[in-house]
Amino acid sequence: MHDVLIVGGGGAGLTASMLLSQLGVDHLLVSALPTTSVLPKAHVLNQRTMEILAGLGIADTIHERGTPPEQMRYSGWYAGLAGPTEDYGRRFGLVESWGCGGLSGDWASASPQGQTNLPQIRLEPVLKARAEELAPGRIRFGHELATFTAGTDGVTAAVLDRDSGQTYEVRARYLLACDGGRTVGRRLGVVMEGARDLARIATVHLSADLSAVARDPEVLIRWLTLPHTGGGATMVPMGPDRWGPDSEEWVVHLNYAADDPRGLDDDKVIADLRTALGLPDHPLTVHLITRWSIEGVVADRFRDGRVFLLGDAAHRHPPTGGLGLNSAIQDAHNLAWKLAAVLHGHAHERLLDTYEPERKPVTARNVQRSVENALNHIVATQAAGIVPGGDPEANWRQLRRLWSGLPEDAEHARAVHRAIAGQSMEFNEHNIEYGYTYPSATSAAVLDDGTPEPANPDPIRLYQPCARPGHPLPHAWLEDERGQRLSTLDLVQPGRFLLIAGEGGQDWCEAAAELAATWPLDAVRVGHLDGDLLDPRSTWTRHRGHGSDGAVLIRPDRFIAWRAQQPADAPAQLSQALQSILGEAR
């Protein structure tokens, strides 16, 4: 009998496998697909995700294979790509994106990990190889969940080996549905709620040399407004060896009306692609055409007894903002340590009840943000005055007003530029990506310390580090006795709680040493001038929210669980906090 059966081998499933391996949890992963994704879907990996992948030992590989930071500093808006006049391909908008390739001080100070970009077709093989390394023989692609029953004491599943045609039984204590909602959720009657069929998209994955027409090597995503068709297209380089205008492969997204049959015909999609890009005879090789509709939906529940839903099985996002894959990986990070704590006897099963109230509000907000990002692109196109199906010359006249320099066009140009600048809600949504919280009001694994939620003048764009319970552990560079630098994030070990006390918090550390025989708990003193580790820039001192003899308790997923100001009866305070967080298992 396995502790955990994972169904699905995408970002959520493979991450869950790696984390469970790291935590010493026996598990089996099965995926009906023969291999990892062949679809060039998600590609942007945010800082929180890269921290998780760094902990799994694969961040360096992903950074090496991904887009160089200097080639993903901006998103650009263009009047098509190529054409018979110099106006074709003209850029009329530019927005800093994802910390501007490391140039933004806010992003650089938030995390030791930078944002990166690696398409899912190239990311998932990295995840799979690491998962197989950590759990040899337990990562089974081409093995399909046929049936399952879930009871009070575990799950019984029948799995079909698609190569041999043989079916075998798997028993597990818990099942993680990471299958995109294709099987497990449907059989449990899980309902996906939210907006559907907001737009129809045909995505073309192709190889072509576009270096002569794709300008601006610092731009990652190109949003093409097409006066000659009245439509729009989006271009994203796919690498794999070169990026920017020199990328060997590209993905182009074309929009279609719901009742437009052209989007269902491959030859017509390719013809539309050539028309959109202004490249009627340019050599290109089409690898794959996929069709999908934009939706923003969230499952009515993330847990059904012994079954947990992660990733697309629990929430599906428009791609705008790149929150879908990141949310899936972060789902696994939230759940894995809780499963390990329960399975290893450190926590009561009640701890697992915190998965849904923590993750569902966060992912629901991510879905809503993704929908809003998508709709804002429509606003920008409308502001430009481009009429779908309208006269091409009339559309061009409207677009040329953006760079005419004429006084009568100034207000029109300002309106369009404001609409594009507003897309920082997508490309600079730092607090959405990195600053999300788990409030004590909804989670029993976070203990309120009586302090108010800090005011934030822009809760979408501005991440404000603080060590209030429910918030992510702030990153601060510390130094050890040899002067070597390490992040506060590096102090949290897999599956273990961490107590960071102030420089005068020796009582807290002694209490933690006593309790470490019962719970997985480490402790360290940090201060500017004194402590086990020093805070040379006073960054941690600024964020910790307590005096020299206070302390904060950090969960294994690097979220603040509890904060105390005074060490009076430190063993009792700390013990009570751990018991409350872990469901009073001991």
What is residue 375's predicted lDDT score, i.e. its pLDDT? 87
Task: State the Cα–Cα distance between residues 471 and 464, nearest whole angstrom.
Answer: 10
Give the lowest-confidence range in 437-441, 509-513, 568-572, 581-585.
581-585
CATH of domain 437-581: 3.40.30.120
How large is the average pLDDT for residues 329-349?
97
Task: State the Cα–Cα distance between residues 232 and 55, nearest whole angstrom.
Answer: 40
Q: Tell me if the bond preceding 454 is cis, omega within 30° of 0.
A: no
The string of pLDDT tens digits covering residues 178-188 is: 999 999 999 99
What is residue 478's predicted lDDT score, i.e. its pLDDT? 98
Who contacts 410 (Cβ-Cβ below 8 Å, separation ≥6)?
none
How large is the average pLDDT for residues 145-151?
95
100 pLDDT above the threshold of 50: yes
Percent of the chain having pLDDT more than 90? 89
The string of pLDDT tens digits covering residues 455-514 is: 999 999 999 999 999 999 999 999 999 999 999 999 999 999 999 999 999 999 999 999
CB 500 within 8 A of CB 544: yes
What is the pLDDT confidence band of residue 387, given thresholds at 50, 70 and 90? confident
CA atoms in the 13 A half-sphere facing the CB of 228 = 20
SS3 annotation, 338-405: HHHHHHCCCCCHHHHHHHHHHHHHHHHHHHHHHHHHHHHHHHHHHHHCCCCCCCHHHHHHHHHCCCCC
Percent of the chain having pLDDT more than 70? 100
Average pLDDT, the chain: 95
How large is the average pLDDT for residues 333-354?
97
389 pLDDT above the threshold of 90: no
What is residue 95's predicted lDDT score, i.e. its pLDDT? 97
Q: Pick the closest to residue 174 from 144, 152, 147, 146 (CA basis).
A: 152
Who contacts 509 (Cβ-Cβ below 8 Å, separation ≥6)?
499, 501, 523, 524, 525, 532
Q: Which residues pair with 236 in a beta bridge?
A: 251
How large is the average pLDDT for residues 541-557?
97
Q: Which residue has the higher pLDDT, 381 or 146?
A: 146
Pairing of strands 249-256, 231-239: antiparallel
What is residue 473's predicted lDDT score, i.e. its pLDDT? 98
What is residue 178's predicted lDDT score, i.e. its pLDDT? 98
How large is the average pLDDT for residues 422-439?
96
Q: Pick the closest to residue 222 from 197, 195, 243, 199 (CA basis).
A: 243
The string of pLDDT tens digits covering residues 204-251 is: 999 999 999 998 999 999 999 999 888 899 999 999 999 999 999 999
What is residue 586's predicted lDDT score, i.e. its pLDDT? 44
Q: Which residue has the higher pLDDT, 78 or 39?
A: 78
CB 300 within 8 A of CB 103: no
How large is the average pLDDT for residues 122-132?
98
What is residue 251's predicted lDDT score, i.e. its pLDDT? 97
pTM for the whole structure: 0.97
Helix axes of 506-515 and 570-581: crossing angle, nearest 10 degrees: 50
How large is the average pLDDT for residues 136-142?
97
Give the lowest-confidence range in 279-283, 327-331, 384-388.
384-388
Q: Which residue has the higher pLDDT, 491 or 384?
A: 491
How large is the average pLDDT for residues 151-156?
94
The string of pLDDT tens digits covering residues 253-299 is: 998 887 888 889 999 999 999 999 999 999 999 999 999 888 999 99
573 pLDDT above the threshold of 60: yes
Task: State the Cα–Cα distance between residues 496 and 502, nearest whole angstrom.
Answer: 20
Report domain extents, the chain: 2-68+109-190+298-353, 437-581
Task: State the Cα–Cα distance between residues 156 and 173, nearest whole angstrom.
Answer: 9
How large is the average pLDDT for residues 13-42?
95
Who contacts 47 (Cβ-Cβ below 8 Å, separation ≥6)?
99, 107, 110, 111, 113, 114, 115, 433, 434
Task: State the Cα–Cα distance between residues 223 and 30, nearest whole angstrom.
Answer: 38
Helix, coil or strand: residue 497: strand
> Any alpha helices (H) in 23-56, and if so which ranges?
47-55
Q: Quick one: fold of 2-68+109-190+298-353?
A: FAD/NAD(P)-binding domain (3.50.50)
